Chain A
Amino acid sequence: MISRGATKRSQRAATSQDLWRRALKDSFLKLDPRQMWHSPVMFVVEIGFVITALLTISPDMFGGSYPPSQRWYNLVVAIVLLLTNLFATFAEAWAEGRGRAQADSLRKTRTETPARLIDAQGKVLRTVSSTDLKKGDLVRVEAGELIPGDGEIVRGIGSVDESAITGESAPVIREAGGDFSSVVGGTRLLSDWLEVEISVNPGESFLDQMIKLVEGASRQKTPNEMALNVLLAGLTLIFLVVVMTLEPMSAYLKSPADLATLIALLVCLIPTTIGALLSAIGIAGMDRVLRFNIIAKSGKAVEAAGDVNTLLLDKTGTITVGNRMAEKLFAVGGHTAAEVRQAAYRASLADDTPEGKSIVAFAEKDGEPRASGTLLKDAEAVKFSAETRRSGLILASGEEYAKGAVDAISELVRKRGGQIPADLQSVTDEIARAGGTPLAVTHDATILGVVYLKDVVKPGIADRFAALRTMGIRTVMITGDNRLTAATIAKEAGVDDFIAEAKPEDKLIRIRAEQGDGKMVAMTGDGTNDAPALAQADVGLAMQSGTSAAKDAANMVDLDSDPTKLIELVGIGKQLLITRGTITTFSIANDVAKYFAILPAMFVGVVPQLQALNIMHLSTPHSAILSALIFNALIIPLLIPLAMRGAAWRPMSATAALMRNILLYGLGGIIVPFIGIKLIDLVITASGLAHI
């Protein structure tokens, strides 16, 4: 169960009033031309504002002679242009503010704490501030203290409350060595002590990187965003040429257009809607990722998530519910059920993995007497390892009980000169066919039976994979199980492909193969041996609970440590692109109506027949031009919620998505401004401003 504690806290912390105040202030600060320059479209609008402001002071500044009323018209144009710019800067400031609030709530966890700096022998040198810690520093943390920075445990074991980061209230055990050795700054050590090697320099933590992604000024633009920016700049340049050349043409026809009107036409034609919201869309996209409790190290990674063709998913924890549970015991080779039970029980006593515990619980429930202290005295635990693929217990008497993968145990028994029972294979196959995992149980060189560990596929996972398939994304399940078991679960879960008996390097091999075919691959991982694959994958999502090697290699970290979130991440990536695409289409489609408003208005004096193009029947030329310009400005704040929320998205095929969005934003983009401009014209006319 994941709580979104961090999110809720942030919403309380940054009241919407603060957000508004800061955003309003920032929207004026962002008018600074040096910042505006980064958005060519809005920069043109700003220049237009400066020129019309000058024309308000002196209408004939750039030549021509105008009646006194022209000054008021110029003023109105200037004001609308300023508003257009402010709406754009506000959108960005608002998105930043929300992102910052989100980041701040995470940053709160890293308030300054004293850190006990130690030397390599564990001798305390001095106490420094956590903000001064550098990579490679060693610190000692005692129970009850906050861990001062991200790092790796070098000595000690303890339970850590990570709820500040993950929202998960149950403490987790962290210890030196293995896959649970990394700690995050700002989490609290509840018991014992730890010695931690700090792994990041100040300002370089994942969170610091993420905060940069939601702050407009320092934000790196994503690849698609840069490409779109180029296209928008190109369109702006085209319309600049169109409007600049319109002036001589109208002069030739002896109907010189006034500068304010030309600027109004230009601003209406260039894609201001998307130009104004582009930056906000990018920031809001990063913010959505952060709200989802995922830290992305770059915007590029989020975009890549939308492009993914193949998902590599670990079976356990992603496709199946948590851990396998002992379901049944099978005796083989003529041994009795009680013998098997005892051997399985003893082989699992020292095994504190969930599977091991489930075998112990199953055996006790089945009537196995609790093991006495004398039995366990001086017994030696055999830990599971990837090489031996078995675990067990060696009693003081030298008797060994072991359990493990059937082939591994068979090999062990053969090596020790034992016999492989004839019915082992059939029992193993039966379990595998049922989708279970068979674990052979042995007592010294005798195989007694098989434990049936049952995998439970997460409810609803098949539907989610089907949804991914409609988007053209293939899912590949990775599991250490044998082929039969893997095939059964793969079928039940509805994955497209699976890799059985996978070794850690298989992930990397598969990723390289898929990428060789031009595909983009996403995967999750938490162990150190996942690190190369996480680095190779286009989207590597590391679990917060994983090792720092994994987190360093990945380009995203999931604070909730929930690998299924990879599926939603694809949606967030797609939504980011879709939002940009739809608002771009809407923005360009708007031009049709604006032409029909402005062109007749400009030239109706010299060609009265052009009135035929005034299909909206706008009341006066000035009202027509101002209506188009005001519509152009107002559409920006009206679309801010869309930019923040992202365009509505659900899994569907590309063709379906295209048709839906082209009707909604393309056709809608043509129709809406006709209505909007007409309405604004009615208001202007009613208020008597039509004749300024």
Chain B
Amino acid sequence: MSAAGVLGILIFLAVLFALAMPMGKYIHNVLENRVHWLRPLEDWILAIIGPAAKKEQTWRQYWRSFIVFNLICMLITYAVLRLDTYLPLSQGVGLGLSPQGPHLAFNTAASFTTNTNWQSYSGETLTYLAQLFLMVLQFITPAFGLVIAAVFIRGLVGRRDTLGNFYADLVRSLVYIFLPVASIGAVVLLALGLPDTFAGPAIVHTLQGAVQQIDRGPVAAFETIKQLGTNGGGFFNANAAHPFENPNPVSNMVLILLMSILSTSLVFTFGAYAKNRKQAIVLAGVTAVLYMAGTAVVYWALVNGNPLIHQALGLSPVSYEGLEVRNGLPGTALFVSTTTAYTTGAINAWHDSLPPLAGGIPLLFMMLNTVFGGKGAGLLNILMFALVTVFVAGLMVGRTPEFLGKRIERKEITLATVAMLIHPIIILAPTAFALVHKVGTSSILNPGFHGLSEVIYAFTSGAANNGSAFAGLSTNTPFYNVSIGLVMLVGRYLSMAAMVAMAGSLAAKRIVPASAGTLATDSWSFAWVYLFVTLIVGALTFFPALALGPIAEHLVMMGGAVK
């Protein structure tokens, strides 16, 4: 690990926080209807929606609008994927175009509506229309997560009957957050050399006289929203390792920043809502500690690589397999941890080829699902664990636990427990099934511990709505398409439903004024308890799986045996 590398990562973190703090306040203003610099556009869209966008909604009404809208998105996507070659814009980046089969289309539709962007297909097989459609989804699905987080925050911080309007929230966050930030990002990426065209593949004649087809398309625009919206589905199958998606170290850092900016900002949005900046700093700070610790482990594992190679061949042990050299080790380590911490799922290196511990961190981050996480969904998880922490810690100070003055009682704990339970169950149960049944095992390309890591990675990626793949597992089978599709849907909507219901319950509660006897949740002592609870509950749940996967693999490798 070089000093320059470590310094670079720390500078990135400083830049991220420096941007996220004002951005968080800005998002708060947008959500509270105080930002109007694109009024004509905003009014035009709201006018199309009509009166539905004007009425304040209770948590039930909000949730109904949300879920119906999501369902419609998913159904349309499914139809487009099944029929794309018969529809306009039917040419594509590649030449092997064909409509998707039912289970693959279900998987893809579920994947893109849940902001997972898991791809069981390679991007080149889609028509421009399908790609554009998926791009629209990549634009709006992160906003879905963001507005649900807004609902929860509103319920938590105030005493009110209604929690906002889904359509108005959605439109405003698209117009004032995603559109401007994506535009800036796209321009920057264009300047950094990403192509952006509808001209179809370029046909070039090489110096040797051969003819080569180079796939291209509206990459810069696609890339920006893919990262910004923590979508991660690549324009090309090689994703951000492809030189058109990520040409140089600068674009690499810009991509990482785009992935992390909004979810980090949302923590400060929460702070602005709670009128408690320190609360946001404490939660973001302790999360950043986890984020950086994971990044350090990946970096360390890359640098130290595989000692066997060093012993046997006398070569540098540094692990370059599956890496793009131009991104460098720190650039790769930070990308690997960021794409899983923020559940983006883009990759700039082949996670399957990473040294075991470096591959274990992405897995751990997705299992925790609280290291900033996806748009809104990550903040919901952070607050869910904060709530459980408040409950346990609150009892330890001898009062009925309160979070921001709201008493955490049986109903809240029940809903938080439901939200907390879903994640491990939908990861472990299908993994266990896949490992013993032929439909699952037949797709495993690498036997042993690595095969176990591959399967658990696939379901974890789906459950966390991450979408990155460990590869090494052929997932375009009916079993994996359907099971991972279901895992993505349950992982997103069931936990969100529990949190929105909790918001409804919290919103009706009186705010208990804070006193010296109240547990201060904006203190660093609380932060450590939060970390303790997250790690014990979140990580210990997966400890056996991790021990049998990456940890066993690492120990075997270090022990010098090749299996």
Contacts and interface: CB of A to CB of B under 8 A. Distances in A.
Contact of B517 (A226, A246, A653): A653
A253 B452 contact: yes
B493 interface: no
Given A518-B511, A609-B555, A662-B393, A249 B408 contact: no
Interface in A385-418: none
Given A253-B449, A472-B516, A581 B395 contact: yes
Contact of B435 (A252, A469, A474, A595): A252
A191 to B, nearest CB: 47
Given A231-B413, A249-B431, A613-B547, A242 B399 contact: no
B391 interface: yes
Given A230-B417, A249-B432, A662-B528, A578 B397 contact: yes
A309 B529 contact: no
Contacts of B421: 234, 237-238
Interface string A232-266: 01110111011011111111110000000000000
Contacts of B394: 577, 581
Contacts of B429: 241, 245
Interface string B392-424: 111111111000010011101110011011001
B540 interface: yes
Nearest to B517: A472
Contact of A581 (B392, B410, B543): B392
B413 A612 contact: no
Is chain A's binding surface mostly helix, strand, loop or mixed?
helix
A577 B452 contact: no
Contacts of A244: 432
User: Could you say which interface size class chain A belongs to?
Assistant: 35 or more
Interface string A644-666: 00000100011101110110011
A241 B425 contact: yes
Interface in A192-226: 223-224, 226
A306 B559 contact: no
Contacts of B435: 248-249, 251-252
Contact of B396 (A231, A472, A607, A661): A661
Interface residues of B, number: 70
Contact of A249 (B425, B512, B540, B545): B545
A303 interface: yes
Contacts of A239: 541
A41 B525 CA distance: 30
A575 interface: yes
A662 B409 CA distance: 22
A238 B424 contact: yes
A472 B513 CA distance: 10
B91 interface: no
Residue picked from A239, A241, A589, A610, most chain B C-beta under 10 Å: A241
Secondary structure of the B side of the interface? helix
A518 B512 contact: yes
B88 to A, nearest CB: 47
A163 to B, nearest CB: 34
Contact of B399 (A228, A247, A306): A306
A584 B392 contact: yes
Contacts, number: 214
B548 interface: yes
Contact of A657 (B397, B410, B425, B433): B397
B523 interface: yes
A573 interface: yes
A250 B449 CA distance: 10
A657 B393 CA distance: 10
B391 A307 contact: no
A653 B529 contact: no
B87 interface: no
A111 interface: no
B532 interface: yes
B526 interface: yes
Contacts of B502: none
Interface string B548-559: 100110011011
Contacts of A607: 449, 548, 552, 555-556
A227 B519 contact: no
A646 to B, nearest CB: 10
A591 B525 contact: no
B50 interface: no
B3 interface: no
Given A224-B409, A584-B392, A599-B544, 6 more contacts: A231-B413, A252-B452, A589-B532, A654-B516, A654-B517, A662-B393
Interface of B: 388, 391-400, 405, 408-410, 412-414, 417-418, 420-421, 424-425, 428-429, 431-433, 435-436, 441, 448-449, 451-452, 510-520, 523, 525-526, 528-529, 532, 536-537, 540-545, 547-548, 551-552, 555-556, 558-559, 561
29 contacts: A224-B400, A227-B412, A230-B410, A231-B392, A238-B421, A238-B537, A241-B428, A242-B541, A246-B545, A248-B435, A249-B432, A303-B400, A306-B398, A306-B400, A471-B516, A473-B515, A518-B512, A574-B399, A578-B395, A578-B396, A581-B393, A581-B396, A591-B540, A592-B536, A603-B547, A603-B548, A613-B551, A654-B397, A654-B516
Interface of A: 223-224, 226-228, 230-231, 233-235, 237-239, 241-242, 244-253, 269, 303, 306-307, 309, 469-474, 517-520, 573-575, 577-578, 580-582, 584-585, 588-589, 591-592, 595, 599, 603, 607-610, 612-613, 649, 653-655, 657-659, 661-662, 665-666
